[in-house]
Structure 1
Amino acid sequence: MEKNNNSLRRMVYAAMFGALTAIGSLIVIPMQPVPITLQTLFTGLAGVLLGGATGALSQVVYVLLGVIGLPVFSGGKAGLGTLLGPTGGYLIGFIVGAYVIGKLMEVKKEPGLAWTGFSLVVGNLVIYTLGVAQLSLVAHLSLAKALMVGLVPFIIGDLLKLITTVLISLKLRNVIKR
């Protein structure tokens, strides 16, 4: 019975963090071609609090909601075209980033402030690598130009989101059981 409860708990958490990421996409500071949102905050929290597999699953839930047509991508966008468009690499990056963050968190029995911050930085690098790569390819931008529009404007905001994520996760890690 404990295994069934654990599986159900993981599914509920995955759905909840997928929904939180969708809510984070609605809080937008419009920029072209990549807007500023709170999606990475919830992606990071999913990885830190849920671990690799469940954290990634939460982002799969989020991306699938958008692909099937619910307006959950930034700015209320939806559909496969968004996933295949210039910013779709960031969406795939949320899945891989949450997985990497979660796996790094699982390495330590009691991950502290520094390890949590490190895990989030690595996960954000994964998100940016996939996001900037697709932005460069789809929008036909040089790598330097893609970095200037798809990474540089977000560094300060992402550092603030990273700090916020660490602080929230330290408060919630004993409440949310993997």
Structure 2
Amino acid sequence: MKSRDLAYVALFAAIVAVLGLLPPVNVPGLPVPITAQTLGVMLAGSVLGAKRGGLSLLVFLALVAAGAPLLSGGRGGLAVFAGPTAGYLYSWPIAAFVIGLLTQLFWKRFNLAWALVANMIGGIVVIYAIGIPFTALFGDVSLWASFTGSFTFIPGDLVKAVAASVVAVAVRRAYPVIELPSRRATAG
């Protein structure tokens, strides 16, 4: 990995941290707040691609595990990885990777629609698929309550997916960060 790649990884870990400065919105009946940090997850994957996007979230979570209060509401430390929000946190690197992978697959025809598909699949479906069961397990709520309670997050997550998609398309046009391997012709 080049030093430029490391700089991108650090930059997007920092973006997710800055989004954590926005206060969380508590959801009645669920121990999981609404935060702006999933916007950073979507941006990391759709701007950096699979490898660097996922890595940026692993760096961010390592800082949180080390005790840095980078999560919305000033939370950090190992305890957050065994609480109701743990599944959502675990899902972030996976979500960024999936978004990045889909972005790379759509790269030649990447536009707002493809970006939105990538962000909705990785940034909503993947995060919910991992986060909802963990909330039920560690949050003292039933799986059904965790599932139905997650509907509260959908409007905001759709807005974040649109915002991340608009930014990703603009970045691709102005300064494409994702580099796909070129196909080289092989000699005889």
- Could you state the TM-score of these two structures normalised by the residue count of structure 2? 0.87
- The equivalent of 2:3 in structure 1 is 8
- The equivalent of 2:57 in structure 1 is 59
Of 19, 23, 37 in structure 2, the residue corresponding to residue 24 of structure 1 is: 19
Aligned residue type for 1:146: S
Offset at residue 159 of structure 1 (A): 1.0
Aligned residue type for 2:138: V
* 1:136 equivalent in alignment to 2:131: no
Offset at residue 30 of structure 1 (A): 2.5
Q: Which runs of 5+ in 2 are unaligned?
A: 179-188
Q: How many residues align?
A: 172
- The equivalent of 2:80 in structure 1 is 82
Of 47, 50, 54 in structure 2, the residue corresponding to residue 49 of structure 1 is: 47
- The equivalent of 1:3 in structure 2 is none
* 1:97 equivalent in alignment to 2:90: no
| Rounded Cα–Cα distance in structure 1 between residues aligned with 2:158 and 2:47 | 19
- The equivalent of 1:106 in structure 2 is 104
CA contact (8 A) 1:28 1:35 kept: no
| Rounded Cα–Cα distance in structure 2 between residues aligned with 1:30 and 1:122 | 23
Superposition RMSD in Å: 1.3
Offset at residue 28 of structure 1 (A): 2.2
Structure with the bigger percentage of helix? 1
CA contact (8 A) 1:27 1:37 kept: yes
Q: Which runs of 5+ in 1 are unaligned?
A: 1-5
Aligned residue type for 2:170: K
| Rounded Cα–Cα distance in structure 2 between residues aligned with 1:81 and 1:48 | 29
Offset at residue 176 of structure 1 (A): 4.4
| Rounded Cα–Cα distance in structure 1 between residues aligned with 2:73 and 2:176 | 30
Offset at residue 175 of structure 1 (A): 1.6
Larger Rg: 2
